[in-house]
Amino acid sequence: AQSVTQLGSHVSVSEGALVLLRCNYSSSVPPYLFWYVQYPNQGLQLLLKYTTGATLVKGINGFEAEFKKSETSFHLTKPSAHMSDAAEYFCAVSGETSYDKVIFGPGTSLSVIP
């Protein structure tokens, strides 16, 4: 069975500092991996995804994530935090077909301190 863990339910960073949100997954098949962002009172929207190919994936708003199979990780990073990055971030994993359900992690709330 697939599962996702996100280390730290809440992360605070200073404006301009590195953002690092951790995600580890378990999957018995090669996974598809996603990061979604949720701003207050909104639905989730895709930041980036890994399907196949290059393990370093770039997304919107300067975020990127690296798929490390040996570590079963897909950590999200951004070199310099901006106030507008304050939001809830969800890591997710799915299987080989769209009939495999997407499993969401519990989420990490990011606060950016001015």
Partner 1 sequence: DAEITQSPRHKITETGRQVTLACHQTWNHNNMFWYRQDLGHGLRLIHYSYGVQDTNKGEVSDGYSVSRSNTEDLPLTLESAASSQTSVYFCASSESGTGGYEQYFGPGTRLTVT
Cα dihedral sign, 39-62-108-106: positive
| Residue carrying the six token digits 């975020």 | 63
- 17/86 with CB nearer partner 1: 86
Please give the radius of gyration of the chain, using alpha carbons only, rounded to the nearest integer. 14
Minimum CB distance to partner 1, residue 79 (Å): 24
d(CA 105, CA 112): 21
Minimum CB distance to partner 1, residue 46 (Å): 4
Contact flags string 51-90 toward partner 1, x per CB under 8 A: xx-------------------------------------x
Contact residues toward partner 1 (CB under 8 A) are: 32, 34, 41-46, 49, 51-52, 90, 94-102, 104-107
